[in-house]
Amino acid sequence: MFQTLKSYQFLFEELVKRDFKKKYKRTVLGMAWSVLSPLLTLLVMRLVFTQFFGGNTPHYTTFLFCGNLVFAFFSDSTNQGMTSLMDNAHIFTKVNVPKYLFLFAKNTQCLINFGLTLCVFFVFCALDHITFTWRFVLLLYPIACLVLLNLGLGLILSALFVFFRDMQYLWGVFTQLLMYASAIFYSIDGYSPQIQRVFLANPVYLIIKYFRVIVIDASLLSWHYHLLMAAEALLAFGLGCWMYKKYNHQFLYYV
């Protein structure tokens, strides 16, 4: 796969540039929306939830930002990845190129946006008097898992979307449910141990918690936790690759 990507490096780079320009075409602020959009969402969530959930949560702004940062990347990446095949059907129906190339380009564009927002996140951490430690380097691990998860789910969703256009609406409902199940604006410490274990089945929650433990608590998670994160991300990626390999030749008949 990576060797193929290298062979199509020029096309891949052009697709990323096209997607990036297309997203902000005819907007006054342009690329600034990459930063403003999550910040405005954070502001709304802080205004709405501070009185209900933030009273006993230290560094609640950073607590919220961790959840919003991760979930925004996940949502943006999977939603754009889902339509990546259909959006580029006019290309791969005429030219024989790897179809996952379009999904990878979409995810790269989303990753760039995430990187810009991450820089703003660190500024907020400083303003919230968060102590920066060497542990911040470990954030690369959940980010890598999140990228892998996004790619895997993107492969699955884009394949399903070719056959079932209803996936766009179903995924919208599911992500809304997932947002509330990812403990973005509340802590699960008050729940029973049994309920807390249920949250561990949600890979987005695992990544959000990792960010909070490193940034706010300045602590480390167990190696079991690391393995669970990697396993869930690899499972999604493996299933996505299998679906593309199985249905690759059928895509042409449904686009």
Range scoring the smallest mean pLDDT among 22-26, 144-148, 211-215: 22-26
Range scoring the smallest mean pLDDT among 53-67, 153-167, 223-237: 53-67
Q: Minimal CA–CA distance to 233: which of 150, 156, 157, 110?
A: 150
Using a 10 angstrom Cβ sphere, with 0-12 exposed, 13-18 middle and 19 or more buried, the burial of residue 87 is middle
Judge whether residue 16 has pLDDT over 90.
Answer: no
Q: Say what the pLDDT of residue 94 is.
A: 77
DSSP letter, residue 135: G
Q: Say what the pLDDT of residue 208 is.
A: 97
Judge whether residue 241 has pLDDT over 80.
Answer: yes
Long-range contacts of 196-205 (CB under 8 A, 24+ apart): 200/228, 202/178, 203/145, 203/149, 203/229, 203/232, 203/233, 203/236, 204/70, 204/71, 204/74, 204/149, 204/178, 205/181
Q: Say what the pLDDT of residue 165 is.
A: 87
Q: What's the pLDDT band for 52 if we cut at 50, 70, 90?
A: low
Q: Say what the pLDDT of residue 123 is.
A: 87
Q: What's the pLDDT band for 29 if we cut at 50, 70, 90?
A: low
Share of the chain above pLDDT 90, in %: 47
Q: Say what the pLDDT of residue 219 is.
A: 92
Q: Where are the domains of the chain?
A: 2-16+30-253
Q: What is the mean pLDDT of residues 18-24?
A: 68
What average pLDDT does the structure give for the chain? 85
pLDDT greater at residue 40 or residue 160: 160
pTM over 0.85: yes
Could you tell me if residue 4 is left (phi over 0), alpha (psi between -120 and 50 degrees) or otherwise beta?
alpha
Q: Minimal CA–CA distance to 42: which of 110, 128, 111, 108?
A: 128
Judge whether residue 209 has pLDDT over 70.
Answer: yes
Count CB-CB contacts under 10 A for residue 170. Answer: 12
